[in-house]
Amino acid sequence: MKVFTGSSNPTLAKKLAQTLKVPFGKVKLSRFSNGEARVWIQDKHPHEAAVIVQSLAPQPDQSLVEFTLIIDALKRFGVKKVIAVMPYLGYSKQDKVFRPGEPLSAKVIVQMLQTAAFDQLITFDLHNQAIVGFFNQPIIQLSAQSLFLNHFAQLKTQDTLIVAPDAGSAKSSAQLAQKLGLEVVYIDKARDLVSGKVSIKGISRSVKGKQLIIMDDMIVTGGTLIKAAEFLKKKGAVQIFVGATHHLYVPGTQAKISASPIDQLIVSDTIQAPKQYNKLKIISVAPLLAAAIKKL
């Protein structure tokens, strides 16, 4: 077995190869003069199996093309089994048609992914579980929650509460709270579908003097999260820790988070960080991936 990668997350791919104790494959990525992607597997001999690591971020469209071309190249090279590791599945927030005239983007992307001849696909913490049903073959969905659970277990005090930032995270927040032996605070908010602006109406209980932990599946612009942190700070919270499986590193987002009342942001490495940031801690999913791959 060898581990290969596109341009989106070589750091995680190398960690995975080290964890699995297998070689790291050589892929040359370049562009033709007309801008089209060019892929070349530069290994001398094909292996029985290959793992391709590629997240659909920070450049989802480019990453998608690389992903399909690398898999095709591996198969034509003679690799019999391709395990596709897509730590972050792009377009997953577009999991429904919000307004007439819009596409069901998440389903379209899944259909495009399946044109690649992978034998197994592994991903992490999908934004909506309905996306699993868009695939016409079984996939493996892992969760990074155990990594955050261990981290937050070391942080918690007798004054710690779990915050559910919206209705969509209520169930996962309650599960995290149960595992940590903590109570949950629910934020009541509303989003305007046209403007995208979020307004916070209130919270389910007092947070005065409390240490708060907010867990979400992804950080995009961070606007809603920062607004929630500011609201909670005004209500008397003394510390705010945030965890998220996926951080998309939208330009300017981390700078805003660093300047916000959030004390620390803990994320996984499903998407590669462009650089080091203040207040940011990164936990690797490589051990979880390695354990799952060894079972295949």
Domains of the chain, residue spans = 2-143+287-294, 145-269
pLDDT at 101 over 80: yes
In the predicted model, what is the mean pLDDT of residues 91-102? 91
HSE-CB of 116 using CA atoms within 13 angstroms: 28
pLDDT at 65 over 90: yes
Identify the residue with better confidence: 199 or 109: 109
How far apart (Å, rounded) are the C-alpha atoms in residues 172 and 156?
A: 18
In the predicted model, what is the mean pLDDT of residues 92-110? 93
Tokens at residue 75, please? 């198969």
Check if the beta carbon of residue 285 is closer than 8 Å to that of residue 13. no
Q: Do you know the residue count of the chain?
A: 296
pLDDT tier, 196 (very low <50, low <70, confident <90, very high otherwise): low
Q: Regarding the domain delimited by 145-269, which CATH topology (the fold level of the hierarchy) does it fall under? A: Rossmann fold (3.40.50)
pLDDT for the residue numbered 151: 94
Tracing tokens 């104790």 back to the chain, one arrives at: 21
Report CA 177 to chain centroid distance, whole Å: 21
Percent pLDDT > 70 in the chain is 98
Q: Regarding the domain delimited by 2-143+287-294, which CATH topology (the fold level of the hierarchy) does it fall under? A: Rossmann fold (3.40.50)
pLDDT tier, 45 (very low <50, low <70, confident <90, very high otherwise): confident
Please identify every residue annotated as catalytic: 189
pLDDT tier, 77 (very low <50, low <70, confident <90, very high otherwise): very high
pLDDT for the residue numbered 190: 73
